[in-house]
Amino acid sequence: MKITDKLAKAEREGRPFWSFEFFPPRTAQGLQNLYDRIERMRDLGPEFIDITWGAGGKNADLTSSLVEVCQETIGIECCMHLCCTEMPKEKVEWALKQAKAHGCQNILALRGDPVAGSTTWKPTPGGFHHAVDLVRFIHEHHPGDFCVAVAGFPQGHPETPDTPEGHHQEMIWLKEKVDAGADFIFTQMFYDTDIFFDWVRRVRAAGITVPIVPGIMPIQNWEKFQTWVKREKIVVPPHFYDALLPIKGDDEKVRAVGTKLVGHMCRTLLGNEDAGIKGLHIYTLNLEKGARMLLRELGFEGRREQIAPLPWRPSLTPHRRTETIRPIFWANRVKSYLSRTDDWDEFPNGRWGDSRSPAYGDLDGYPVSIGIASTEAYSLWGHPTTFADISALFARFCRGDLVKLPWSSQPPASETSVITDQLAKMNELGYLTINSQPAVDGVQSDDRVHGWGPAGGYVYQKAYLEFFVSPSLLSALIRRIERDPRITYFAVNKGGDLRTNNHSEGPNAVTWGVFPGKEIVQPTIVEAISFIAWKDEAFELGLQWAALYPEGSPSRALIEEVMNTSYLVNIVANDFKDGTSIFAPFVLDQAVPTAANGVSGVDGVNGTNGTHVVADKANGVLESVANGVKSAVEVVKGATASVNGH
């Protein structure tokens, strides 16, 4: 989405907006750390983020990778810097094509700084002399593809004389950039609001009407503050120094006082009606705390619609922007789902069966990786030698005492906090949970835990559980499940033997939302074909965990046996008004066993449970429905949905 559209929407809704700037680190490990930070800072609700570009494209690959991951996996709109410095037209064209391929629709066009070791800027042969040339090139060669921003300098550009004539010339150059097609202006950092407001008045007097977004630099500590002030020759009001000088040796106090000072400055900017400033662009320096503290000081909280437009993180690449439905199984493995479905011609929008390609990528073509080294695995999970050791790890994860498991690289979602005790007890009883969600009955869409989607709506979800279990426990569990017709299940082992009581060929919607002026939205489903594709990955992750331990070791043998003998089961309690029914078959009030449950000496289970046992391989059983998946939810006059007859 173009930033100008986002700014216009914020103005129509009468709310301020904010955005963050990041720069690509120099190393792959630094890039991974930054991905994690951007993931966390996304929950602060920025409208977009801004990614810088090294002179001459020296960090071109890192910049492109950062934009790609942010657009596709993190699902946050990007604005990519593009400079003239050491950038011939061919390299500029490559950068623009990369940005477009990643779904980035926003470019900040800059002349750039002189090359390293030089104080004088020189144009590149075959390149561009000024930012205005870059603006014209973008619009000429990619008409309509990009929203283009340019830079503004409230204190004047460092190379421009600080004279009335110099200020006038700078305004002429800014007007040229806007007339060439610049859609809005980012400003250089500043701390003196009087200087800024005077500059805004001169900008408007020059006939420039595009939005202005002021650049805000939080005060992280005294040393960084002084470094940037000297580097950019920033005018600092005396009261800043009066407050900061006495505490300059204490970083925590400098950050706290600096946050108050910059917060007051931001309120002054936003409160000046004549200036018409509607939002802030925060220069983070790739740091989280300063930006977080500033937003807290201003009382700014991210809108739920911005943070969670759907229950899962949407991808903003061109071919996935309209995707609105995904199976629940990959909830904790987003990158894998994106990879295994990347070759689909179309993605589900509105109804699962209308657009879905018929197959998931095989694991051979889309290698699954546990993504952890042996040393980290030993530190996290130790060396389990009994089934009780494994179940204890899963229980600890559910309680938040363990940061990851092979099936989830992130801690449990906040919504599972309402079922933490039940999940932990399930694991202690031998049901190794890897995915779950509680029932939700009409919670407001802006609820901070369960909410998603546009404001003014209501969201619903059915209780869902997914776990590994031994065949001996499974047979008794199925008998208890089948006493309640409201519960449906699929159970499949590594070899593909399937057991189910679900006779529907269509998907089962497990989340949906009702919003003003919209059709019922059904973004998350449980569906047979997808589950069979997921089970291969789920078992492979377990076997990769085992392979982290030396061959012949007790830990490796134990985990391999669990994976090779267990069933992967998913259960849906279709009565979303009864949040406890899904746990009833597990008899959670029973005593926790002290020995391994069915890990060794496992019986065959096919044919032991009567009507719903399927001994054939799952892929063969499901062949007849592979191309006929249908939508399961129909709107029932006004409010709720009837799903698979429940």
Q: What's the CA gap between 408 and 429, in Å, rounded?
A: 21
Length of the chain: 646
DSSP annotation of 386 reads S
Cα 585 from Cα 425, distance rounded (Å): 13
At residue 61, φ and ψ (nearest 5 deg) are -65, -40
Q: Which residues, 6 or more positions from 343, have their beta carbon under 8 angstroms from its beta carbon?
A: 357, 361
- Residue 103 CA to residue 70 CA, distance in Å, equals 10
- Three-class secondary structure of residue 195 per DSSP: helix
**Closest-CA residue to 186 (of 113, 300, 280, 263):** 280
Q: Considering 21, 68, 466, 537, which one is annotated as catalytic?
A: 21
Q: Residue 498: phi, psi to the nearest 5?
A: -110, 140
Distances (CA, A) of 484 to 480, 568, 640: 8, 20, 22
Task: Tell me, yes or no, if 21 is annotated catalytic.
Answer: yes
CA-CA distance, 95 to 128, in Å (whole number)? 15
**Letter for the amino acid at 199?**
W
DSSP letters of 521-570?
EEEEEE-HHHHHHHHHHHHHHHHHHHHTSPTT-HHHHHHHHHHHH-EEEE
- Cα separation of 477 and 487, whole Å? 12
For residue 116, give the DSSP letter.
T
Catalytically annotated residues: 21
